[in-house]
Structure 1
Amino acid sequence: MSTPTTNPLLRAWYDKETRSVIIQIIAAALIISFFAYIINNAVTNLAAIGKDINFGFLWQNASYDINQTLIEYSSTSSHFEAMIVGLINTLLVAVAGIFLATILGFLLGIMRLSSNWLTQKIAYVYIEYIRNVPVLLHILLLYGVILNALPRPKSSYNLNDTFFLNNRGLQMPSPEFESLFWVVAAFLVGGLAFSLWFKRYAKKIQDATGKIYPVGMISIGAIVLLPMAVYFLIGSPIVWDVPALKGFNFKGGIVLRPEFIALWLALSLYTAAFIGEIVRAGIIAISHGQTEAAQALGLSNSFILKLVVIPQALRVIIPPLTSQYLNLAKNSSLALAIGYMDVVATIGGISLNQTGREMECMLIVMAIYLAMSLLISSVMNWYNDRIQLVER
C-alpha cells in the first residue's frame, strides 16, 4: 500500500495550491459540460421540429417601421439594421438615464442630510414613494400623463417658434453642418485637451504650494466660450432646420417622442431614489472629524463637501452605484410596455415574430445586454481603482 508521500496523486492532492487548481479544473469542466448538454439538447429539439441555428434572417427585409430612428432606416431595411436602430435607442435611453439619475441622486443624497427640516423631509418622502412603487408603474404613469396632459400639436406649448411641446413629443431644431464647422470642432477638441491638462497642472501646483486656480471657470472658457467665439467669427457654420406645423403634425427638425421622454424620466427618477440613499450612506460613512478638521482650517461648507467629504465618500459610493447603473440599463427593456422601439422591441419582438427565429433573436438580445453590462462594469471598476487610496 502506497503512502501519501510516495503516491504522486495523493502528494498532489495534499499540496494546498495543487489541490486548489484541481478543484477549479473539475468545477470548470462540470460547468462546461452542463452548458454543452443544454446547447446540445436545444439543437436536437430544434432539429426534431425542422429548425436549425441560422442567423441568415438578419439580412432579410424587416418590413416594419420604427417610430424613432437616429440613423437612416425604412421598412425595406434588413433585420440587422432594425437591430442596430434598436440598439442605438437602448444606448440613448441608458446613457441619458444614467446622466440624469446621477445628478438627481447626488442632490437627493445631500438633501437627505440637510439641516433644513423641509428640505430633508421632501427628499425623504420622494425617496420612500419612488422606490416602493414598481418602475413599470412609473413608466406607465408618466406615459399616460404626457399623452393626456399635454396639448395636441395645433395647441403646442411654443418657445420662440423654435421649440414645441405637445402630446407627440418635443420638437426641436436639427443642425445641418457646413464645410467650416470642422474649425469649431477642432477648437472644441483642443479645449477639452487643454482642460484635462490644466486640471492636472492646477492640482500639482495646489499640492506643492497650496495655491488654488479657478479650474472650473477656465475649463468653461476653453470648452464653451472659445469654440462659441470661433463659431461666430467664421460666420456660424451651422444651419438649423426649425420644425413647422404642416397639417396635423410638425415637419422638419428632430423630435423627442413621448415614449422616450416617459421611459427616460421614469428610469432616471426611479434610479435616483436609490442613488440618493447610496450617496447619503457614503457621506455618513466619513468620520465627522474630517469635517471638523476642515472647518478648523477655515474652509466653507461648499469647499468641505467638494474637497473633503465627496472624494472620500466616492470610495464607498462607487461599488453600489455601479449596480444601480446596471439596473437602469437592464430596466430599459421595459420600453416594450409603452411602444418605445429598443433592442427588445425590434430584434427581440417584431423580428422574432416575423421570422420565427426565437433562439437566435434571444441569443442576440442576451449578448447585447451582457456586453452593455460588462462595459458599464469595466468603466466603473476602472474609475473605482483610480480613486482608491494608494498605500505607501
Structure 2
Amino acid sequence: MTGQPLQSVKRPKAKLSWSDPVLRSILFQIIAIAMFATGIWFLVHNTLSNLATSHISTGFAFLSREAGFAIGESIISYGPADTYLRAIAVGLLNTLVVAGLGIVLATLLGTVIGVARLSKNWLIAKLAAIYVEIIRNIPLLLQMFFWYSIISENMPGPRQALHPIAGVFISNRGIKVPGLLGDGLVWLFVGVGLAMLVTILINNWASRRQAQTGQIFPVWRVGLLLVLALPLLCWGLSGQSIIVDMPALKGFNFAGGLTLTPEFAALLVGLVVYTAAFIAEVVRAGIQSVSNGQWEASDALGLKRSLSLRLVVLPQALRVIIPPMTSQYLNITKNSSLAVAIGYPDIVSIINTTLNQTGQAIEGIMIIMAAYLTVSLSISVFMNWYNKRIALTER
C-alpha cells in the first residue's frame, strides 16, 4: 500500500502586532536604551558647555604640571616641585599601606574576638560580646576622632617625649623608630619575596606529601626560617651597604628615623578596631556552622580543643567565612577615605587639594573612582580565587 505524499504545512506569516510579547519586549528595550543614551548625552553636553562658559579646561594634561604643595607623609620621594601625577601616586600608596595593614590586623583581632565569643569562660565571652556590640554601633568617623584626640592631645611634646627603649620616642608628633637606608634594602625585599615564594612551593609539596603518606611537614617553621635567613643572605651576597638611621631630637622636633604619625595611627587603629568587630561576627558564625559532630570526633581522637579548632573546625568554617570576609575587606579599603577628616594624606585628600588648585573636579573624581574600583576589584578577584580553591570538590 503506497502512502500519499505529505503536504507541507504552511505557516502563517508573522504580523507586527502590539499583542506579540516578543515584539513588545524588543521595543521596550530599544526605548530604554534610547532614553539612557539621551540622558548621558545631555549630561555630557551640559557639563562641557558649563566648563566652556567658566573657561575651565578639560582633560588630564594637568597631571604633568608642577603640584606646588607638600605632603606630610610619603613612602616614595616627593617634593612640591614634583608633578600632580606623582602626588596622586603618593596618596594612592598611602591608601594601600593603611588598607593593607588594616586588613591584616583586623583579621587577626577579629578572629581572636570571634573565637573568644564562643569561649566556655563566661567572663571572656561576655567581654568579647560587649566589645562587638559597642564598637559596631558607634560611627567609624567618631571613633577616628576619639583615637586621634587621645594620640595627639594626651601625649607629651618632643622635648618631654617618652623614651622606653633606645631609638624609640613617643610624643604628640608620633612614634619615632630607627630606620634603614641604603641600596641594600632592595636586596632585603628581594630576599623576602623569594622566601615567600619558596614557602608557597614547600607548602604545596607538603600538602601532597601529607595526602599520600599522612606525615606532617613543619611548613611554618621552615617558612619562618626562610623569611629570616634569605633576606640576610641576599643582602650579604649583594655587597650593598645598609645604614641604621637613628632618630634624634634637634630643636623642637625629631630628625631621622621613621615616623608613625598621629594621623596614620588614629586612622589605622580606628579601621582595625571597627572592622574587627564585624569580622568577629563573621568568624563566630562560620565556626557555629560546623556541626557539633566534628568537635565530638576531635575529642574522640584525643585532640585538645585548641588543636580541634585549628586543624578541624576552622578549615571547614573557612568555606562559610570567606564570602562575607571579602565584603569586610572591601569596607576597610573604602572606609580609609575617611582619612581626610583627620588630616592623613590619602588619595582623597591629595586629589581634593589638586582639584582646588586646578579646578578639574570631574577628572579628579574620576581618578578617585577608578583607583578605588581597581583596588576593590583586585581584592574581590583574589578572594573569589581563594574561595574556589578551598571549596569542596564533589567526586
- 1:112-127 to structure 2, matched below 5 A, reads 112-127=117-132
Aligned match of 2:177 in 172, 176, 186? 172
- Aligned in 2, Cα 1:238/1:46: closer, same or farther, shift over 3 Å? same
Specify the SS of the correspondent of 2:215: coil
1:306 aligned to which of 301, 305, 310: 310
Deviation per CA, 1:332-374, whole angstroms, max 9, x where unpaired? 1111111111111111x11111112211211111111111211
**Residue 147 of structure 1 is aligned with which of 127, 147, 152?**
152
Q: CA deviation at 1:129?
A: 0.9
Q: CA separation in 2, counterparts of 1:60 and 1:377? A: 34
Tell me the distance in 2 between the aligned counterparts of 1:43 and 1:104. Answer: 49
Distance in 1, Cα, partners of 2:300 & 2:39:
62
For residues 275-327 of structure 1, give each alpha carbon's deviation from its aligned partner in whole angstroms, at most 9, with x where no partner exists. Answer: 00011011111111122122222222222212221111111111111111111
Taking structure 1 as reference, are residues 200 and 44 closer, same or farther at Cα in structure 2, changes over 3 Å only? same
Are residues 248 and 291 of structure 1, via their aligned partners in 2, closer, same or farther at CA, if it must alter by over 3 Å? same
The whole-number CA distance in structure 1 between the counterparts of 2:50 and 2:193 is 55
Q: Which residue of 2 is the match for residue 376 of structure 1?
A: 379
Q: Deviations over 1:68-91 (max 9, x none)?
A: 111121222222221111111111
Q: 2:47 aligns with which of 37, 42, 59?
A: 42
Helix, strand or coil for the counterpart of 2:71? coil
**Mapped partners of 1:147, 1:208: distance in 2:** 57
For residue 300 of structure 2, the aligned residue among 272, 296, 302 is 296
The letter of the residue matching 2:376 is S
Q: Residues 30 and 123 (structure 1 numbering): CA distance in 2 closer, same or farther, change over 3 Å? A: farther
In the superposition, the TM-score normalised over structure 1's length comes to 0.88
Q: Deviations over 1:173-206 (max 9, x none)?
A: 2212345973x55654443333222211221121
In 2: Cα distance, 1:314 partner to 1:353 partner: 46
How far, CA to CA, are the matches of 2:244 and 2:116 in structure 1? 40
Unaligned runs of 5+ in 1: none
CA distance in 2, matches of 1:255, 1:125: 34
- Tell me, yes or no, if structure 1 residue 356 matches structure 2 residue 359: yes
CA distance in structure 2 between the aligned counterparts of 1:280 and 1:379, rounded to whole angstroms: 23
Per-residue deviation at 1:120? 0.7
**In structure 2, which of residues 14, 19, 31 is the aligned counterpart of residue 7 of structure 1?**
14
Q: What letter corresponds to residue 39 of structure 1 in structure 2?
A: V
- Cα distance, 1:257–1:186 mapped onto 2, change above 3 Å: closer
Deviations 1:214-245 (A, max 9, x none): 22112212222454477689999421111111
- 1:45: Cα distance to partner? 3.2
Comparing 185-194 and 148-157, the one that deviates more: 185-194
Match of residue 58, structure 2, among 53, 59, 66: 53
Residue of structure 2 in register with 1:133 after alignment: 138
**Secondary structure of 2:163's partner?**
strand
Give the match's secondary structure for 2:169: strand
Farther off after superposition, 277-286 or 65-74: 65-74
Secondary structure in 1 aligned to 2:393?
coil
Distance 1:186 1:377, change over 3 A: closer
Separation in 2, partners of 1:365, 1:224: 38
Q: Secondary structure at the match of 1:70?
A: coil
SS at match of 2:318: helix
**SS of 1:66's equivalent?**
coil
CA RMSD of aligned residues (A): 2.9
Distance between the aligned counterparts of 2:27 and 2:195, measured in 1? 55
Aligned to 1:158, what secondary structure does the other structure show? coil
Q: Which amino acid aligns with 1:325?
A: Y
Deviation at 1:6?
Answer: 4.3
Change (3 A) 1:187 1:256: closer
Aligned to 1:220: 224
TM-score between the two structures when normalised by the length of structure 2: 0.88
> Unmatched 5+ residue regions in structure 2?
1-9
8 Å contact kept, 2:190–2:234: no
Letter in 2 for 1:120: A
Structure 1 segment 95-114 matched on structure 2, within 5 A: 95-114=100-119
1:43–1:52 CA contact under 8 A, matched in 2? no
Q: Indicate yes or no: 2:88 matched with 1:75.
A: no
1:271 pairs with one of 263, 275, 292: 275
Query: Partner amino acid for 2:45?
Result: N
Maintained 8 Å contact 1:181/1:238: no
Q: Which residue of 2 aligns with 1:258?
A: 262
**Matched residues in 1 for 2:384 and 2:156: separation?**
45
CA deviations 1:73-131 (Å, max 9, x no partner) are 12222222211111111111111111111111111110111111111111111111111
Compare 142-151 and 70-79 and name the one that shifted more: 70-79
Quick one: which amino acid aligns to residue 363 of structure 1?
M
Aligned residues of 1:127 and 1:274 also touching (Cα < 8 A): yes
Offset at 1:20?
9.6
295 and 247 in structure 1: CA distance in 2 versus 1, 3 angstrom threshold: same
The reply to whether residue 325 of structure 1 matches residue 332 of structure 2 is no
Matched residues, number: 384
Shift of 1:265: 0.6
Matched residues in 2 for 1:19 and 1:80: separation?
A: 50
